[in-house]
Chain A
Amino acid sequence: MLELIIVSTLNGVLYGMLLFLMASGLTLIFSMMGVLNFAHASFYMLGAFFGYQLSRALGFWPALLIAPVLVGAIGAAVERYGLRTVHRHGHVAELLFTFGLAFVIEEVVQMLWGRLPVDYRVPPTLDFTAFTIFSTNYPAYKLFELLTAIAIFAVLLLVLTRTRAGLIIQAALTHPDMVAMLGHNVPRVFMLAFGVGTGLAAVAGVIAGPALVTQSNMAGLLGPILFVVVVVGGLGSLAGAFAASLLIGLVQTFAVAMNVSLADLLALFGARLAPDAFFAEITQVTVAQIAPIMPYLLLVLILIFRPRGLFGTRET
């Protein structure tokens, strides 16, 4: 039991930190431009596939540097030549634009790499057991993922709060007109922020690709969860995104490990349903089976009981 708790906590924090790598970029972009970037998870997928292709040609470490830069450049170009044109049609058009972009990126990835998973492996230098708790061998690559995510988080925090560029970004979040008045090029700040945000998503893709499955549906699987994180945390709140990322990471990891169903719970109280009763199937579903829908259940609960999200300041 203790083993389960420790390992699940580690995995949950790791998954949560990966979610936060993406959610932070998404939140920054949202608070700046008011655009929820539907294609954010698509940039994570591009990161994974670029990482795969580059690591085959150059090795993992160069890929870890180059792939995010490439994806970030694509992101900046999308902002400069796509979103900025659509902006005059309003927020719904912007959201639809990013939706179309997600659709196109998925098709392009499918076109270039096919529908089947690609063989993106953990680099040999990191392919060993870091430590053993009880009987579980904890792989070093997971530890590396966790440390990378934490390091990026720390750097991001420092840049945002302690540097001049960070101050300008923070000011542009709330008072874009004033910042422009002071002589800063706000559209360029937006473009750079979009580029950095998508680049961060790509970092998550490069390091998560070998551990998870690198496949053309990975954006479609992760994208909605990312939105859940942002809404649960409170739209536009970085601290909220952090808390919600960890929460969802932990909830999903623990749920997978739990093999309990409603029927077991009922049996504790001596109640038993006939197996062919109408709702019997629902009671037999285990917690592990509903792990994929946990984030969405959480979303619905949050919306009913706390519509502004955990740390949100405004009714969304």
Chain B
Amino acid sequence: MSAVAQTGVRRTGRGGALAGVWVVAAALFAVLPYVFSSGTGLTTMSLMAIMIIFALSYNMLLGQTGMLSFGHAVYYGLGGFLVVHAMNGITAAHLPVPLAVLPLVGGVAGLVFGVIFGSVSTRRGGTAFAMISLGLGELVGASALILRDFFGGEDGITTNRTKLLHVAGFNFGPQLQVYYLIAFWCLVCMMAMYALTRTPFGRICNAVRDNPERAAFIGYNTQSVRFIAFCLAGLFAGIAGGLTAINFEIMNAANVGAAPSGIVLLMTYIGGVGNFAGPVIGAVLITFLQVMLSDATEIWQLYLGILFIVMVSFAPGGIAGLIAMHAPVWRARLLHRLVPAYALALALGLVTFAGAALALEMAYRLSAGSEGGTAFRFLHVPLDAASAAPWSLAVLLAVPGFVAFRRVLPIVGNAWAATLAEARRGRGR
């Protein structure tokens, strides 16, 4: 919301700055594989780019049109399955189709299923839409396990991306080539989705989100606005699903289920729904955490859930919202005033978190879910969850840390209020 309002003010030079942003993004996509050239780096970045498309498509619903969907993975997964089947069909029939255009198949599949399911589910917004999207998500997720021919059951359907027509010597065997294919589609989709937010249709979506009665009153059919937004979101989710199919060369029933629907909601919301950059930040951050944390701890999803609850409770604008909040202070060059208060709060927050995380990790080691015994390493320090010392340490870190953190919060609030007031005064002069 705020991004649209802010950029709308400065009309002159907007096109140039915007083109600059896309050039920088393209350059970043091109250069990054040389910075993170390891195998993990490449697969992680491929996944991030796919998730950026998926999260942005989700935000067309939640952020732009105000529709909370619990079943967005339906369009992502079905797009992916159609692409897998298309790849296998093309290979079997020896058709001269290059791999690079196949994400379009996924997009069309997402669009078609968006039209079918959207005609049922977008009649109403709000809570009813959320419930229906959940029901449809469960419907498709459960059907995926029943129709084994099409969805391949729990094993899934595999394919081979190198068997398609090779254009200009690209066989898409190496991950680097796949990365560039994904990066290309990611950039195209980002630009298309951003352009969409600047069209009159994008603005009407915002109006339906903010005040449906009034949007209806000035002559727009809110139901068809929701329907069109829903279909377009399905289109882009289908492209993301198609890229997933190309990237992993396998799709299984879990791809259309509740788990990816939940994850995309988490990443979009944590990144920030009110800002175009929010889902991008969320997709990059959560994918990074998924890859890094799942190596470090077994209960990383718990941390993700807690992070989500904290964001919902205290920062409904997400990370992008927090950043955008600081824009006036940044422009007034007063950001340094906030550093001491923030550093104090951050330090205490980290101490509290370290204590809580230590306790959680030890609880996990002692529980039935753990398989590795009670000895473990926390931040590279070997510890035993069955002994008393680490438990006392956890309590000593978490409890005083939390009490002190609560004490510091008003200080941060005051510093923020004072700095913001000064920044506003400075601009008024």
Contact = CB atoms under 8 A, between A and B. Distances in A.
B363 interface: yes
Interface stretch (B48-56, B127-135, B337-345): B127-135
Contact of B139 (A95, A230, A296): A296
B135 A299 contact: yes
Nearest to B132: A303
B308 interface: yes
25 contacts: A85-B313, A91-B127, A95-B127, A96-B308, A99-B70, A100-B312, A101-B309, A103-B301, A103-B304, A104-B302, A107-B299, A107-B305, A108-B302, A111-B360, A111-B363, A112-B369, A114-B367, A235-B127, A281-B148, A281-B149, A292-B142, A293-B138, A296-B142, A299-B132, A303-B120
Interface string A88-120: 010111011101110110011011111100100
Interface string A205-239: 00000000000000010001001101100010000
A86 interface: yes
B77 to A, nearest CB: 16
Nearest to A228: B135
Interface in A268-316: 281-282, 285, 289-290, 292-293, 295-297, 299-300, 303-304, 307, 315-316
B301 A107 contact: yes
Chain B CB within 10 Å, residue with most, of A97, A100, A107: A100
Nearest to A224: B138
Interface of B: 66, 68, 70, 120-121, 123-124, 126-128, 130-132, 134-136, 138-139, 142-143, 146-150, 258, 262, 265-266, 269, 299, 301-302, 304-306, 308-309, 312-313, 316, 360, 363-364, 367-369
Contacts of A100: 266, 305, 308-309, 312
A220 B261 CA distance: 13
A82 interface: yes
A315 B124 contact: yes
Contacts of A85: 313
Given A100-B305, A104-B306, A316-B124, A111 B367 contact: yes
A300 B312 contact: no
Contact of A293 (B139, B305, B313): B139
A293 B143 contact: yes
Q: Is the interface of B mostly helix, strand, loop or mixed?
A: helix
Contacts, number: 128
Nearest to A83: B313
Contact of A113 (B127, B148, B269, B368): B368
A224 B139 CA distance: 10
Given A224-B138, A227-B135, A293-B139, A113 B369 contact: yes
Given A104-B306, A300-B120, A111 B369 contact: yes
A166 B353 CA distance: 43
Contact of A282 (B123, B131, B132, B147): B147
A36 interface: yes
B142 A112 contact: no
Nearest to B262: A103
Given A104-B306, A111-B367, 10 more contacts: A36-B131, A91-B127, A107-B305, A114-B368, A227-B135, A231-B135, A293-B142, A293-B143, A296-B138, A303-B120
A285 B146 contact: yes
A116 to B, nearest CB: 8
A97 B134 contact: no
Contacts of A89: 312, 316
Nearest to A110: B369
Contacts of B306: 104
Contacts of B364: 111
Nearest to B129: A316
B308 A103 contact: yes
Nearest to A97: B312
Contact of A296 (B127, B135, B148): B135
A230 B135 CA distance: 12
B241 to A, nearest CB: 21
B269 A96 contact: yes
A36 to B, nearest CB: 6
A295 B142 CA distance: 11
Nearest to A92: B68
Given A104-B302, A228-B135, A235 B128 contact: yes
Contacts of A103: 262, 266, 301, 304-305, 308
